[in-house]
Amino acid sequence: MSVQVNIAEAKAKLSALLDRALAGEEIVIARAGKPLARLVPIEQRTRRKSGAWRGWKISNEALLEPMEPEDLDAAEGKHTDEFGITRSGEP
């Protein structure tokens, strides 16, 4: 179920709205009837398993092979956008 509240109501009832969002209800915050934001809980991260990579074997030959240009750019912090333009320092 989704409920829409205006900014003033959201400000006045933030704690209660957070509880409702945590319980699974979708809270939409609007200005002048136009939806602006959705209040949702943050997804909890799962802990990494210790030793998850144990058992992976990489040969020495594979480690010594030249890197692909795309991989090299990524390792050097260069990024290519969807048009193939390489931009340095941008995520």
pLDDT tens over the chain, length 91 residues: 789 999 999 999 999 999 999 999 999 999 999 999 999 888 888 887 777 777 778 888 888 888 888 888 777 877 766 666 666 555 5
Residue 65 falls inside a structural domain: no
pTM of the model: 0.49
| Domain presence at residue 27 | yes
Backbone angles phi, psi at 87, to 5 degrees: -125, 130
Q: Is 62 helix (H, G, I), strand (E, B) or coil?
A: helix
**14 occurs within a structural domain:** yes
Could you tell me the two tokens for 10? 């959201």
Q: Residue 49 falls within a domain, yes or no?
A: no
Q: Which domain holds residue 34?
A: 2-39
Do the Cβ atoms of 79 and 73 come closer than 8 Å? yes
- Within a domain: 16: yes
Q: What is the domain count for the chain?
A: 1
> Residue 28: which CATH number?
3.40.1620
